[in-house]
Structure formats: structure tokens, C-alpha cells
């Protein structure tokens, strides 16, 4: 008892030790039979124990409010709840202590707190007091009773926490049920309490207790019973009217509902019959297949035994090996057929997409070919829309131009000579173009050779790490030739793998025409170092 009044933060274990001491005191005092000086125990020691426990509770409440860290808050709240449980255990064993708890100044100060957790805990203590001794509120001072009621009503009016509202509502309902005088006091002292409860706390999760409290408060008001009866009658009239309307509406829809129910029942029964029939057919088919397999196995074994009887004993091993080979071939044949069918089903979608792409490409090619022919033909059409006057004017312009620029007369020999000179010049141009083309190809091959040598030199190892294999790369031209040929081949494959829409422009070129970039890559792979690589 003396330790509970001290500063417990200096004790070994701190406030946890104080909470444990409070619990030990409460458990020791309950059920104890005092034979020497019982009056001192009941009238001095137990009230002093209650006072010290409430004082310890106030200290723990203050520590909980000032705590900053969540862990400290949880610890002090746990200690506070341990002390309040000890108080409840103590006045539960000694009912006369309930009056001491309510009249103690520390209890009211604990109840008047802005902390939600401690306030809820103290309201639970008050609820336990009323559960142990419900008439204790009539024996305490009127001022203390008013203070407790004022605090509960204040919490209902100022807080919006459903936990606070639920606890306060349950306490007021318990007080109103236990004592009629308290109900009258609530109705007369707090006239706007029913309006506050109905507006602020309706639909917060404790409507059942709230409605009971509102009914009790409403009955205590003047003309409350008559108003309740009038509202009850009005509610009965509304319910009767609504139920009659619903019944008439349901009776109107009853024939349709019966028809729909019969239809659904018949459809379900027909479905069940069909399912049962299908199951019977499946079972019969399964049994028939099983009998056929058994018959086939029996015939096979009989045939095999007959063959074994016919065959000479020295040929049995050879015959068994042949049978194993045939069996293995049969299993392989069936397995390959199953795998081929499975792959075909998997590739069916891709095959369908491929055929669709071919059809789209064919249609696009036909359309582009038509457009190209239209453009070709449209360029050779005669101008349309010329009138007779325009034709006469154009013909007059042509005649005037011919008069101003007369054509020179040329003999047949001069024409032939001019044609021969043109052919010679054309042959020279063609020959020169072929020589220029070969020279360009030669330059490109030399550039390709230089690039290949540069790449080899860049990728070559150091002289200290060089081996005979690295030396053979520079001694022979076959490796660079193969490298360039591989690059050219990769370019051709890349062009062949292009999608159809990238090669639409090449569909209408001549078959013998090859793109320049592919031709250059191919020529570069054929001529390296002045030698043709095959």
C-alpha cells in the first residue's frame, strides 16, 4: 500500500511492478476472512486500498497521455487496464466499496479525460459497478451523480468516436432501466438529449441500444405515451397498406410464376433424364469396349500359344525377338501418328493465318497491278474536251510553226550514215559502262578486303599471345572470304524474311532485276583480293 503512493519509476521494474502490486493486493483482499480487528480491515484498509489504486490509475493515465512513442503508449495503457481490472476485482468481492469508488475524487477525474482509450476503460469500470450494485447511484451525493451524468452527456455531444458513443449509450440505458428516478432526471435535466442521440448517433453500429434509450426518454416526456400510440397506429396502417399492395401484386404475377416454375421444372427434369440416359449409354459403351478388349486379348493369347506349339523349340527365342520388334514398331507407329495429329492441331491456326496472309498478298498485288496499268494507259490517252474551234486553233499553230521552222531534207544515204554513227556511239557507251562497272566492282572488292583486314587486325591478339592458328588467318585468304560470304548470305536471308508488306514495291519489278544493295553484297562476297571465291 505504501509503495503504490511512491514514484514507481524509481522502483525495480518501474510501473510494471506497480501494476503487479495492485493486482496482488486486489486478489489477496478478496475472499480473505479477517478474525482480528475486522472493522479496521473493512472500514480503513479497503477504502485506503481503493484510494491508492485510483491514485495509481491517475498517474498511469497522465503517463499515457504524455507518452510520445507508440510502444510506451501501449505499455502504459496495458498497465492502466491492469489497475482498473484490480479495482473491479476488489469491489466485486466487497460490494460496499462501489460507493467508495464513485465518491472518490480520483474516479471522477479519471472519467473526465479526453483520451479515448482511458475514457472507455473508466466507462467499463462504471458499467461493472452498476452490474454489481445497481442501487449505488441513489446512495451517493446528488452533486457526484450530476457530475457523472454531465460527463456522459458531454461525451455524447462532443465526441464523434463510435466507441465512446456506444459505451456512453449503454451506461445511460443501464441507469434508466435500473432506476426510474434516474430516467426522470435524464428527461428533465437534459431535454435535448433525445434529439442529440437521434441526429448524431443513428447508424453508428449500436442502433438497438440507442432506440431503447430513445423510447424510454420519449415515454417520460408529457403526452409521450399518446404520441407513441399514435405513431404505432400510423406505422401499423402504413405496414398494412404496403403488405396489401405487395400481396395483390404477387397474386397478379402468380399465374406467370407458376407457368415459369412448371417450365423450369420440366426442363430440369428433361435435362436430368437426358443426362441419366447419356450416362447409361456411356457405361454400356465402356462395358462393351472392355469386353471387346478382353476378347481380343484372349484371342491373341490363344493364337500366340498355338504358334508356340507349332514352332520348334530352337526357334522360340528368334520368334519372340521378332514379335518384340513388331510390337515396338507398332507402338512407334501409333505414337508417331498421335504426335503428328497433335502437332497438326497445334499448327492448324498458324496454317490458317498463313493462308489468309497469302490471300491478302494476292489481292494486294492484283490491286497494285491494276493501278499501275491504269497509270500507264492513262498517260497515252488523247486529250478530252477539245472543241472544234480549239482543234482549228491548234492546227493553225502547228502549221505556223512548220512554216517558220522548215525541216531539212536528208537523203537515204545520209540517214543510213547517221544511223551507223549512232550505233557505234551506243556500242562505245555500252562498252565504257561495262568497263566502269567492272572498275567500280573492283574498287568495292578492294574496299571490302581492306575492311576485312582492318577488322582482323583490330580483333587480333597481341604478339606475345599469338599462336600458329592466329597466324594462319593472315596467311590464307579463305577465312576473310568465308566471312564476307557469310555476311552476304545473311543479308540475302534477311531480305527473304522480310514481311510481304515491306516487299510490295518489289512485286512489280522484273523477275531478273535484283536490288542494288543485295547485288553489291553478293559481288563483294565473290571478289576479294582479286580472285573469284567459289
Provide the pLDDT for residue 476. 60
Provide the pLDDT for residue 527. 39
Cα(220)–Cα(215) distance, integer angstroms: 9
Contact 165, 201 (CB under 8 A): yes
Provide the pLDDT for residue 28. 82
State the span(s) of the chain assigned CATH 1.25.10.
3-224
Give me the mean pLDDT over the 427-456 stretch. 83
Cell numbers for 53, please give them: 489504486
* DSSP H or E segment with residue 462: none
Instruction: Give the global pTM.
Output: 0.41
Closest CA to 161 of 106, 116, 196: 116
- Cβ-based neighbours of 106, under 8 Å, separated by 6 or more: 51, 54, 55, 57, 58
Q: Name the β-bridge partners of 114.
A: none
Quick one: CA dihedral 514, 520, 521, 522, positive or negative? Answer: positive
Provide the pLDDT for residue 533. 36
> Is pLDDT of 523 > 50?
no
pLDDT confidence of 534, banded at 50, 70, 90? very low
Contact 163, 155 (CB under 8 A): no
Cα(482)–Cα(453) distance, integer angstroms: 13
Contact 84, 125 (CB under 8 A): yes
Give me the mean pLDDT over the 414-433 stretch. 87
Provide the pLDDT for residue 429. 87
Provide the pLDDT for residue 519. 42
Cα(25)–Cα(97) distance, integer angstroms: 15
pLDDT confidence of 504, banded at 50, 70, 90? low
> Is pLDDT of 465 > 80?
no
Mind listing the pLDDT tens digit for each residue in 172-187? Answer: 777 777 777 777 777 7
% of the chain residues with pLDDT over 70: 86
- What is the DSSP secondary structure assignment for residue 33, as one 8-state letter? -
pLDDT confidence of 494, banded at 50, 70, 90? confident
Cα(369)–Cα(354) distance, integer angstroms: 22
The CA-atom distances, in angstroms, between 99 and each of 47, 104, 134 are 10, 9, 11
Cell numbers for 1, please give them: 500500500
Provide the pLDDT for residue 271. 93
- Cβ-based neighbours of 116, under 8 Å, separated by 6 or more: 159, 161, 163, 164
> Is pLDDT of 399 > 60?
yes
Residue 24 Cα to chain centre, angstroms: 54
Cell numbers for 262, please give them: 412448371
Provide the pLDDT for residue 64. 80
| Of the ranges 87-96, 212-221, 334-343, 483-492, the best mean pLDDT one | 334-343
- What is the DSSP secondary structure assignment for residue 9, as one 8-state letter? G
- Cβ-based neighbours of 531, under 8 Å, separated by 6 or more: 477
Cell numbers for 308, please give them: 508356340
Cα(316)–Cα(19) distance, integer angstroms: 96
* DSSP H or E segment with residue 531: strand 531-532
Provide the pLDDT for residue 333. 92
Question: Can you say whether residue 37 is alpha, beta or left, with left for phi > 0 and alpha for psi between -120 and 50 degrees?
Answer: left
Cα(323)–Cα(362) distance, integer angstroms: 54
Which of 63-77, 277-291, 508-522 is predicted with the least confidence, judged by mean pLDDT? 508-522
- What is the DSSP secondary structure assignment for residue 43, as one 8-state letter? I
> Is pLDDT of 382 > 70?
no
Closest CA to 56 of 25, 97, 95: 25
More confident residue, 188 or 169: 169
Mind listing the pLDDT tens digit for each residue in 322-368? Answer: 888 988 999 999 999 888 888 887 788 888 888 888 999 999 999 99
Contact 223, 216 (CB under 8 A): no
Contact 504, 368 (CB under 8 A): yes
Q: Within a 10 A sphere around the Cβ of 410, how many other Cβ atoms?
A: 10
Provide the pLDDT for residue 377. 62
Mind listing the pLDDT tens digit for each residue in 74-108? Answer: 888 888 888 888 888 877 777 777 778 777 777 77
Alpha-carbon torsion, ordered 350, 352, 358, 364, to 10 deg: -110
- Cβ-based neighbours of 216, under 8 Å, separated by 6 or more: 173, 176, 177, 183
Mind listing the pLDDT tens digit for each residue in 226-247? Answer: 666 677 788 889 999 999 999 8
Mind listing the pLDDT tens digit for each residue in 14-32? Answer: 778 888 888 888 888 877 7
Q: What are phi and psi of 461, to 5 degrees?
A: -75, 175
Is the CATH number of domain 3-224 1.25.10?
A: yes
Cell numbers for 395, please give them: 492546227
Provide the pLDDT for residue 509. 41
Mean pLDDT of the chain: 78
Rg (CA), the chain: 56
> Is pLDDT of 507 > 70?
no
More confident residue, 503 or 458: 458
The CA-atom distances, in angstroms, between 113 and each of 82, 98, 120, 465 are 18, 21, 10, 87
What 3 state SS string does 362-399 have? HHHHHHHHHHHHHHHHHCCCCCCCCCHHHHHHHHHHHH
More confident residue, 523 or 487: 487
Q: Could you please report the per-residue DSSP string of 351-362?
A: HHHHHHHHHHHH
Give me the mean pLDDT over the 367-377 stretch. 83
Cα(87)–Cα(27) distance, integer angstroms: 10
Cα(78)–Cα(23) distance, integer angstroms: 13
Amino acid at each position: 500500500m505504501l509503495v503504490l503512493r511512491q514514484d514507481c519509476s524509481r522502483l525495480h521494474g518501474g510501473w510494471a511492478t506497480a501494476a503487479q502490486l495492485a493486482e496482488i493486493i486486489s486478489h489477496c483482499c478478496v475472499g480473505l476472512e479477517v478474525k482480528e480487528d475486522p472493522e479496521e480491515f473493512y472500514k480503513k484498509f479497503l477504502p485506503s486500498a481503493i484510494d491508492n489504486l485510483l491514485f495509481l490509475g491517475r498517474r498511469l493515465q497522465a503517463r499515457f497521455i504524455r507518452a510520445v512513442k507508440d510502444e510506451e503508449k501501449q505499455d502504459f495503457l496495458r498497465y492502466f487496464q491492469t489497475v482498473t481490472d484490480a479495482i473491479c476485482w476488489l469491489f466485486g468481492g466487497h460490494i460496499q466499496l462501489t460507493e467508495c469508488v464513485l465518491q472518490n475524487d480520483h474516479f471522477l477525474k479519471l472519467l473526465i479525460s479526453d483520451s479515448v482509450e482511458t475514457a472507455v476503460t473508466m466507462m467499463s469500470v462504471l458499467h461493472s459497478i452498476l452490474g454489481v450494485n445497481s442501487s449505488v447511484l441513489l446512495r451517493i451525493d446528488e452533486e457526484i451523480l450530476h457530475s457523472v451524468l454531465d460527463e456522459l452527456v458531454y461525451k455524447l455531444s462532443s465526441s464523434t468516436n463510435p466507441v465512446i458513443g456506444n459505451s456512453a449509450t449503454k451506461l445511460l440505458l443501464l441507469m434508466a432501466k435500473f432506476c426510474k428516478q434516474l430516467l426522470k432526471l435524464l428527461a428533465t435535466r437534459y431535454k435535448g438529449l433525445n434529439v442529440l442521440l437521434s441526429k448524431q448517433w443513428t447508424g453508428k453500429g449500436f442502433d438497438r441500444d440507442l432506440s431503447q434509450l430513445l423510447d424510454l426518454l420519449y415515454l417520460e416526456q408529457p403526452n409521450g405515451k399518446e404520441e407513441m400510440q399514435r405513431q404505432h397506429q400510423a406505422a401499423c396502417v402504413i405496414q398494412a397498406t404496403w403488405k396489401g399492395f405487395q400481396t395483390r401484386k404477387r397474386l397478379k404475377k402468380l399465374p406467370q410464376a407458376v407457368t415459369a416454375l412448371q417450365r423450369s421444372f420440366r426442363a430440369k427434369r428433361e435435362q436430368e433424364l437426358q443426362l441419366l440416359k447419356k450416362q447409361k449409354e456411356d457405361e454400356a459403351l465402356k462395358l462393351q469396349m472392355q469386353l471387346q478388349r478382353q476378347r481380343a486379348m484372349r484371342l491373341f493369347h490363344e493364337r500366340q500359344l498355338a504358334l508356340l506349339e507349332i514352332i520348334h523349340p530352337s526357334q522360340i527365342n528368334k520368334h519372340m525377338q521378332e514379335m518384340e520388334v513388331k510390337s515396338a514398331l507398332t507402338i512407334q507407329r501409333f505414337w508417331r501418328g498421335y504426335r503428328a495429329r497433335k502437332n497438326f492441331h497445334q499448327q492448324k491456326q498458324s496454317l490458317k493465318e498463313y493462308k489468309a496472309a497469302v490471300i491478302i498478298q494476292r489481292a494486294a498485288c492484283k490491286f497494285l497491278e491494276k493501278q499501275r496499268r491504269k497509270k500507264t494507259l492513262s498517260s497515252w490517252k488523247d486529250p478530252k474536251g477539245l472543241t472544234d474551234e480549239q482543234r482549228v486553233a491548234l492546227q493553225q499553230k502547228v502549221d505556223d510553226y512548220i512554216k517558220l521552222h522548215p525541216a531539212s531534207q536528208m537523203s537515204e544515204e545520209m540517214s543510213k550514215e547517221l544511223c551507223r554513227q549512232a550505233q557505234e556511239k551506243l556500242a562505245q557507251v555500252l562498252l565504257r559502262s561495262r568497263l566502269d562497272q567492272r572498275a567500280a566492282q573492283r574498287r568495292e572488292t578492294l574496299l571490302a578486303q581492306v575492311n576485312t583486314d582492318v577488322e582482323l587486325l583490330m580483333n587480333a591478339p597481341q604478339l606475345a599471345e599469338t599462336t600458329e592458328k592466329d597466324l594462319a588467318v593472315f596467311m590464307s585468304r579463305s577465312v576473310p572470304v568465308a566471312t564476307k560470304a557469310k555476311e552476304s548470305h545473311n543479308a540475302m536471308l534477311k531480305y527473304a524474311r522480310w514481311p510481304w508488306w515491306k516487299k510490295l514495291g518489289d512485286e512489280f519489278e522484273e523477275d531478273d532485276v535484283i536490288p542494288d544493295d543485295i547485288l553489291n553484297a553478293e559481288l563483294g562476297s565473290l571478289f576479294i583480293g582479286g580472285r573469284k571465291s567459289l
